[in-house]
Structure 1
Amino acid sequence: MNHPEVSRSISKLPGVYRDPSRVIRDSSNLLKSTTGRHLKAEASSFVQNDGTSTRSLVLNGTISMNYRGNTYHIPVDIYLPPNYPIQPPIAFVRPVSTMMIKEGHRHVAADGMVYMPYLHSWRSHSHNLVDMCHNMSNIFGRDPPVFAKPAAPAPAPTPPSYNSVFSSFTPAARTPAPSPAPAPASSTFSNVMNKFSTVTGGGFMGYDKASTDTQSAEEKLAAEAKAANEAVEIARRADEKEAQEEKLKMELKMRLTHKIADILQSYKDLAELQMKHDLQDKALLDKARDFVQKASPSQPEIGDDENIEVVNTIDSNKAVMGQIAYLTQRKEELEGHHIELDQGIETLEAFIDAAKEEQKTKKEVSVDHLAVPSDIHSAQMLVLSAENQAINDALYFLDKALEKSEISLEDHLKAVRKLTKKQFLVRAHLLKIGQVKASERMSTM
């Protein structure tokens, strides 16, 4: 089912995407997934490197990551270009005012743009936004992309605001992240984790630890973070259990379907075999009935009841005699067929022996004698075709030798260049001869 936010945003971008159904499906799957449930969709403008601005769908918010046993959330923007899914999505890390992008990060540039193998090897038919965010979360968990800015000395501590929620960014309101200055060892990502707590509900709550003046505020925020993490874990376990149950149902359904299909197929085969035997028995019975009817003469008229038994006995004897005569005739026919079959076997064996003797005495014919050209042009085409195939074989074995490092690349290129030049001349010659022969055939018609 499509996500309503995605549908509303796409309706504001008519004609932008070549495959809007794929954009809606992938974006909806991401927003409904555990990884992207803190993201939201909106129509926005994206300024490319050449200065041009295009309208596109952006998914902004936070994605979760696991760092040193705790769950934290990184603010990101994910733009879907007009050529999506042929062109991969473009992702940015958008640090808040108290955060800086880590200098020299392997996967995040100074302007926040995300570079990672999943985007580099993007394939439209196998890649999607859910897997992309999952890979991004794993990469950030191993190497966090942001750290806390060095805290400026404040004249006096102020009470923390626990209701501050970082709203979603729009491209017009965002500015490029400042170039991060070298931070001391204490300004690592763990310090950011001490300043920013886990997302609760979909907002990104945070507080300045240096400005905390009471221990109860810290305990309250820690309790909220723990409760949010527990809720996320419960939801994740419920989703995993539901997916496992659905998978089990599908497996049981498939097994039951296959078993029923096997049982029905066995019953079908058994019924077909039984019908075949019944038809054979019916044919034999019909044949026997026809034989009895032909062998039995017409019933004589019976004068009285005393002759009924005698007439029945005579009819039975005549029927038996007729069957014996028929079987005797069939026996003689089968014996004649058997004699003919033996004679045919003897003739065939004699032919096979003669062929073997002839094969032993006969010399093997050379392939050059089998292909005899009819004219000078045909002879030239035969020689040139053989030379062309020989060059193909030589090129094949040159590639194999290079693959096994038996020859150097320079020797390979020299040999290939020489052979391909020669092969080009051979093929051109073949083409010219073919044209001549075609013109000769046209002139004789």
Structure 2
Amino acid sequence: MDPEIAEWLQHVLQTIGYQHKERMYADVEAVLRRFQNFLVPHADTYTHDNGRSQLLLSLVGTIPIVYQSATYNIPVAFWLPTSYPSVAPIVFVTPTALMLVRAGKHVDISGRCYHPYLAYWSNKSDSNLVELIGIMQKVFSLDPPVYSKSNVSTQQQPQSSPTLGAYPSPTSLKPAPPILSYSPRANSSITTSPSAQNNRYSGSSSFGSSQQLTPQQAQLYTKLQAALMEFHSTSSREMQNIVTVNKQLNDAETRTKTELQSLRDLNNKIQYNISTLTRSIEQLDTKIEQIRTWPEEPVDEIICGSSVVHNQLFELVAEEIAIEDTIYYLSKALSQDKVDLKAYMKHLRNLSREQFMKKALIKKVKAQLGQV
């Protein structure tokens, strides 16, 4: 892209206040590189359907189409909202003084263009200006949106008005593509061309004014235009509702798939834990059956000392510990008033005397073992 145009474009994006300048610049640059001899950027005032005016950047010029094996140039204007790419561009067919708009499936009588690609516009990289222009080329190649005024005048009969079937095909459009030049001013202000001043759109159209039509045709044109605007408003609301419901359904589907995957993972973990627990239970049952087949061992014979003296020491220590526990529980019974003081003192003296004898004997046995 030409450095002057690039500098002018950066200045316009900054001055108007576009929210996504980098994405905006990249998309416009791609369009100018692809259609450098057909589209040029302009900064001009755009009037919305509610009457609000706003300074916007637009791509004005023509796009080539192929109709009946011949190449024609369709005049168009792509208006880019300040929130682009979150909001889809606004596309108009801009007929010259020798053309009229042919209303159809994708173009209304004012030249406003409609397409599912615009209705389901995404702010991600999968929706961009280059693809939009390519789609408009395909649509216009199947159903050209403009026709020549001269064809209408030659085919119109004095007694009857032209019908849709009498509209000529756009064979009168010159096939040669126009070369659109661009030269920004030396200063840094936003520049516009006279042709851009004529591309201001509002809710009504200036094409096919009452000066060119009979009073009956003008009245019919006004009613048709009002019906089309009402249909467009209703369709836009319904389309917005459909898009909202579709988004909600997509979000619900995503959440459902996520929850389903979580439940599947949890089920896999539970099944694994059940399998592991079953194997462990089987191993424990096997061990228990093996232990039950073992012969019973005499505990008193297994736990014993290596000599008679060691066995005596083992028994003395066990008895001394038992006396200590008895004294403890006897004191606890006294504190809970389960035994009177007289009985407590009697038993305590007997137990203390016996404990003393056990400890003395333990000391004597240990001394004897130490000499051996």
Q: TM-score, normalised by structure 2?
A: 0.44
Q: Which has the larger radius of gyration?
A: 2
- Higher RCO (CA < 8 A, seq sep 6+): 2
Q: TM-score, normalised by structure 1?
A: 0.37
